[in-house]
């Protein structure tokens, strides 16, 4: 059945929502304090959105906006909790920015940005110390460092296990280091995650009484680039082991975020077209596939060239390259790979398809 109709892409807009905005203002009246708080809330929300979408090296080029201009970009806000006195106003806010308006502003300003949100990852902080490999042990300061970080606010949602009996039963340190897919999958599912993030820290004392830690980060799961990140940290004067590990965890999480943003920068000057076959099992599979394709930020337009009970033929107009497109599709449980005669796009797990998205060979970053 030849339809020749177009589906406008509708990317996931949840990344443009900023929550947990804390404001606290004092003025001559409660009304004035509330107005000051809302103005401050708009500015705090905008700054956090820029940090979320724009790589660190490009954030300085983001346009400086007045409070009025920022308010124009907000499509709605919610007061989650508030307290007020005659002169003081405290509240927790959530603000939703208008996606199209933000995209247009950043693009017109020449600011590179990404908006593809990763699937949630469960962090497994394994530490080697004095020859022992630790994960859930009470003396694992590396686990405590990750647990002490504030909630992640970027494009890579992370969850750190609590170290309870169920976690111990799911996976041990040796199994985590070995990349045991079944064990990692079990703990990931229990925490609502899709992939695992192995954070391996090797701690060693220095001759001057300080300490050094070398951290290796690997993301484990389908639809990832298979990249390994290696960083080394030395304690500074007066910095104890707990502070060293806390600093290393914070910097590693930031670098994971930055790597993700760089991999998913929207390249508006690189537009391509790809025709793919989508095998179908039933009508619900078609509805699910179409919805997920529409959510991918890299896809500007999708056209249905043909549709039957068994398959659909789609023409995807997208920005960037095939690797970026495949990575973005994988975050929506879709795989993109070359078939015998053409590209194929599938719902992950549909039709017996459980293979991960093909990605480049692992690269090491130092």
User: What tokens does 15 get?
Assistant: 């990344």
Residue 169: CB atoms within 10 Å: 11
Pairwise CA distance, residues 179 & 241, whole Å: 27
- Closest C-alpha to 200, from 146, 149, 139, 259: 146
Q: What is the pLDDT along the chain (366 residues), one digit of tens a residue?
A: 333 344 444 455 689 999 999 999 999 999 999 999 999 999 999 999 999 999 999 999 999 999 899 999 999 989 999 999 999 999 999 999 999 999 999 999 999 999 999 999 999 999 999 889 999 999 999 999 999 999 889 999 999 999 999 999 999 999 999 989 999 999 999 999 998 999 999 999 988 888 999 999 998 865 555 578 899 999 999 999 999 999 999 999 999 999 999 999 999 889 999 999 999 988 888 999 999 998 898 898 999 999 988 899 999 999 988 888 998 898 888 999 988 888 999 988 644 343 333 333 333 333
Q: Are the C-beta atoms of residues 170 and 155 closer than 8 Å to each other?
A: no
CB-based contact 278:318 (threshold 8 Å): no
Strands 121-129 and 228-234: unpaired
Q: Which of 140, 156, 246, 230 is nearest to 196 (CA)?
A: 156
Q: Contact at 8 Å (CB) between 115 and 11?
A: yes
Architecture of domain 267-352: 2-Layer Sandwich (3.30)
Regarding the domain delimited by 121-263, which CATH topology (the fold level of the hierarchy) does it fall under? Rossmann fold (3.40.50)
Contact yes or no for 252/199 (Cβ under 8 A)? yes
């Amino acid at each position: 059945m030849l339809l020749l109709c177009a589906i406008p892409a509708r990317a996931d807009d949840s990344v443009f929502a900023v929550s947990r905005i804390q404001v606290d203002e004092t003025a001559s009246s409660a009304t004035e304090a509330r107005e000051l708080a809302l103005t401050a809330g708009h500015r705090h929300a905008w700054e956090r959105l820029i940090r979320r979408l724009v790589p660190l090296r490009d954030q300085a080029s983001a346009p400086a906006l007045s409070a009025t201009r920022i308010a124009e970009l907000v499509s709605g806000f919610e007061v989650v909790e508030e307290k007020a006195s005659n002169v003081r106003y405290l509240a927790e806010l959530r603000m939703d920015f208008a996606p199209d308006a933000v995209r247009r502003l950043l693009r017109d300003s020449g600011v590179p940005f990404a908006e593809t949100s990763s699937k949630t990852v469960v962090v497994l902080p394994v530490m080697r110390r004095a020859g022992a490999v630790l994960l859930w042990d009470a003396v694992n300061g590396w686990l405590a460092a990750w647990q002490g970080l504030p909630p992640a606010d970027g494009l890579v949602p992370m969850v750190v296990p609590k170290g309870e009996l169920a976690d111990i039963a799911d996976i041990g340190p040796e199994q985590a280091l070995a990349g045991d897919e079944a064990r990692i999958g079990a703990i990931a599912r229990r925490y609502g995650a899709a992939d695992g993030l192995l954070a391996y820290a090797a701690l060693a004392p220095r001759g001057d009484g300080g300490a050094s830690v070398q951290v290796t980060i690997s993301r484990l799961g389908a639809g990832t680039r298979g990249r390994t990140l290696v960083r080394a940290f030395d304690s500074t004067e007066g910095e104890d082991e707990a502070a060293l590990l806390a600093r290393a965890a914070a910097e590693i999480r930031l670098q994971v975020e930055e790597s993700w943003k760089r991999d998913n920068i929207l390249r508006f000057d690189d537009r391509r077209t790809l025709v793919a076959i989508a095998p179908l099992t039933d009508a619900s599979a078609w509805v699910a596939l179409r919805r997920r394709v529409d959510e991918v930020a890299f896809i500007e337009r999708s056209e249905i060239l043909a549709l039957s009970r068994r398959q659909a033929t789609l023409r995807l107009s997208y920005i960037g390259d095939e690797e970026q497109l495949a990575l973005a599709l994988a975050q929506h449980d879709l795989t993109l790979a070359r078939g015998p005669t053409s590209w194929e796009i599938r719902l992950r797990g549909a039709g017996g398809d459980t293979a991960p998205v093909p990605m480049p060979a692992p690269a090491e970053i130092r």
